[in-house]
Structures are given as structure tokens and as C-alpha cells.
Homo-oligomer: A and B are copies of this chain.
């Protein structure tokens, strides 16, 4: 029998039973205690180590439950055959991250995809996470509804109805881990042999994804009202992917007339659908928010997609789509078996976040924040007003500067000289049209007002020689 001379530390953070458990486990793992070897009885070991017998019992129970020792009735405890056990050294190999070489470092980044994360209500989120993990624990770790939990879908419906004018029931809502995933799921629902028309310029991520999903893809040019429906008619597309509330990257808001024309296009043929990506309609600084296109749809033609990436945080990975009746039917037949990609815990946290009013408060707060940044940027750009025109303001988190007879590369390079990262519109075009203007995008969501003032001053300085 092994002596088990354990130097117990009564004042350590680790409880005594845990110390005994760890000692025995280690000795079994490193072979000092061998398979079949008998352990001292709980009574004897308690006496020897001068601890209570229940402490030893706790330690042995832990060892038993993890398979390190075995109990033989009337004989006692024995070291088990451990080659079957899992044991590995969690820190054995710790490979350093291989990162791509960092691009030139910039002092200011006018990224159009920024989100202010300082205003995120971390404490509320943590509180709700803690609450969720206490309630209803077993249920929470069981596989959930593949479409998303009913409670969350109901909360999303309420929000969409009241804030976006979207008409739907929770039955039509599918929750998924991000828009990319939802577009993949949509492709399993709609099946093959479709042609998708996207606006040009557009959100390139969607364009690439549609291509990879083996759709035929084409682009349709935009005018000041959005996608030109007469051009769409000339394609053989049966799916139109549009962002009517706030087109990315142009910032165009599609007027009602164009929306109705688009719906008419979809109504004209069975199997035609409009995918409405309503990615950041929450941020609008002037006038009433415009209801979603989905709200005007009477014939089940609009597949509405929304996300919490912009309105809450990019890393929470929760989006949703609202399926019209015919698409819902094929979802149920073809794709409902696909398991949900969002954990139940995360869904419950988000549901509470919406239901307890945190989402409403957070939206109003970030919008007020972005509006101030938007106003500051517009004011700071005033010295440029003779040299360029501004578009895409009053909504979203970026605006566009149009310079006649300039080259984007030159403007971007000059900004870089001053340590400022700005973005050219060209990279958003699938096929670049002939334009005699350069368009620079300036995002402001992630820049505080003081920084916006400083960065804009530097930018004007950088461009002075080019544009004056």
C-alpha cells in the first residue's frame, strides 16, 4: 500500500479534499501508484493525515468519478487501469500566433465598418449572462430549436414590428450566427440554379459568398434612387439583393416609388425574390426612420435579413432572417433539420437584453453618440466644401467625399503620408464604371470627436496641394 504522505496546506485556496485528490491523481498519472495497487481506507487515511473522514471520502469520490480509482465491495479502493483515461498536458505545445505582417501603422483610421465598443453595456450583458447560467441549467445545454428559441424570435418580431415596420410572426424568423451563415442557409433553402443581382457598388462579402455558393451572380447599376429596376429587368436574375434603407457603400436611401417598382418586378414572375439586407437602418440622424421594404410586401416576395453586429457588437454573432410564406415552406421541408448555430445561452442573454429595455437604451445612446460624431465630421470638413461634394450623410456611420478630376489612389496616398487611413469607393465595385471623380469614404463610428477634429485637420493639410 502506498504511504500517501501528503503535505496538506490548510490555508491554501485549494480545499483539502482537492489537495488529496490532486496528489493521488498525479501519482497515478506519473506511475508512482500502479494499476491494482490498494489505497488506504478512508478511516486510516483520515487518521494519518489528521483530517475528517468526509474530506477523504470527497477526494476518493472525485477520483472514482473520474475513473482513477475503483471501489471493490468489501475490499476497498484500488488504482484503476489508467491507459484508457484522458490525460494530456494542456500547455504542452503553445505555438505563437502566426500573424500576417501588419500593414503600415496609421494614427487615425476612418474605417466605414467601425462600431463604438466603449458604449457597450458590458455590466448589463455580464449580469444577464450570469442570470441565464443560473436559471434552468440543464435545459440551457440541451440542443435547442434549430430555428432559434421561440422567446428570442418573439422579441425580435416585436422589435422589427415597432421599430422597422416589418410584418411577421416568430414562425417566420430564423436566427443564425451572422449574415454569412444565413446566406449559406438560404442557399440550401432556395436550392440551385438561381441568378442573384446585386447593386454595383455593393457589399463585396455578399457578392463573393453568392459566387462561392454556386449562384450565377450579376450586378445592376445604381442611380440616385438605388438599383435601377429597368436594368434589373434586362438581366435573367430571379433574386435581387438590395439594401434599401441605407445602401452600402453609397448610403442611398431608396424612395418609396423605387421600392414599389422593385416589388412589382418580383411580383411579375413566380419564384422571384428580393433579399433585403437591413444592416444598419438603426442609425439615422434626420427625419423619421423609413419602414423596411418588407412592410410593403403583400405577396411574400421579400426575404428580410437583419443583424445585431452593428447595433450591439460585431463579435456577438447573431443575425436573423424573416422568411415569406413560400420560402418558409421550403425551409421547413428542406433545411429545418440544420441545427442552430447560436448557443442557447447567447440567445437567452439577447432575449433578456431586448425584453428588459437594454437594447432600446443602447440603440438610443449609440445613435446619439454617432450623431455627434457625424455632426463634428461634417463641421470639420467645411473647409473642403469648395473642392468636393458630400453624400451619404444623415444616416449610417460613414459619408462620402466626391472629388472631380482626382484619382483615389493619390488622395489615399497623401492621407497615408499623414498617418491617416481612408478608403476609396472603387474597391466596392464589382465592375468599375468609368467615372471622372474620386470618391473617398470616411467612417466615424469608432473615432471620438476630438480625434475627428484632429484627423480632419491633418487630412485637409494632406490634400491641400492636390485639390486646391
Residues of A within 8 A of B (CB): 64-68, 83-95, 97-98, 117-118, 120, 122, 125-126, 129-130, 133-134, 137-138, 140-144, 150, 154-155, 157-159, 161-163, 169-171, 176-181, 184-185, 188, 191-192, 205, 208-209, 212-214, 282, 284-289, 309, 313-317, 334-335, 337-346, 354-357, 360-361, 363-365, 367-369, 371
Contacts and interface: CB of A to CB of B under 8 A. Distances in A.
Sorted nearest first, the 6 A-B pairs with minimum C-beta distance are A88-B162, A177-B341, A141-B313, A143-B314, A66-B364, A188-B212
Contact of A345 (B97, B177, B315): B315
Contacts of A163: 86, 88
A284 B84 contact: yes
Contact of A93 (B157, B176, B344): B157
Nearest to A335: B212
Select the residue from A86, A120, A356 with max chain B CB neighbours within 10 A. Answer: A86
Contacts of A335: 212
B345 A87 contact: no
A288 B176 CA distance: 39
A381 B219 CA distance: 65
A206 to B, nearest CB: 11
B314 A91 contact: no
Contacts of A89: 158, 162
A288 B86 CA distance: 10
Contacts of A83: 288
A339 B180 contact: yes
Select the residue from A341, A344, A355 with max chain B CB neighbours within 10 A. Answer: A341
15 contacts: A67-B367, A67-B368, A84-B286, A88-B159, A88-B163, A88-B360, A92-B158, A94-B154, A140-B315, A142-B313, A176-B341, A177-B317, A178-B339, A180-B338, A346-B346
A147 to B, nearest CB: 11
A337 B192 contact: no
Nearest to A354: B90
B314 A142 contact: yes
Given A188-B213, A364-B67, A141 B181 contact: no
Given A66-B364, A85-B364, A360-B87, A192 B214 contact: yes
Contacts of A356: 90
Contacts of A122: 133, 137
Contacts of A363: 86
B133 A125 contact: yes
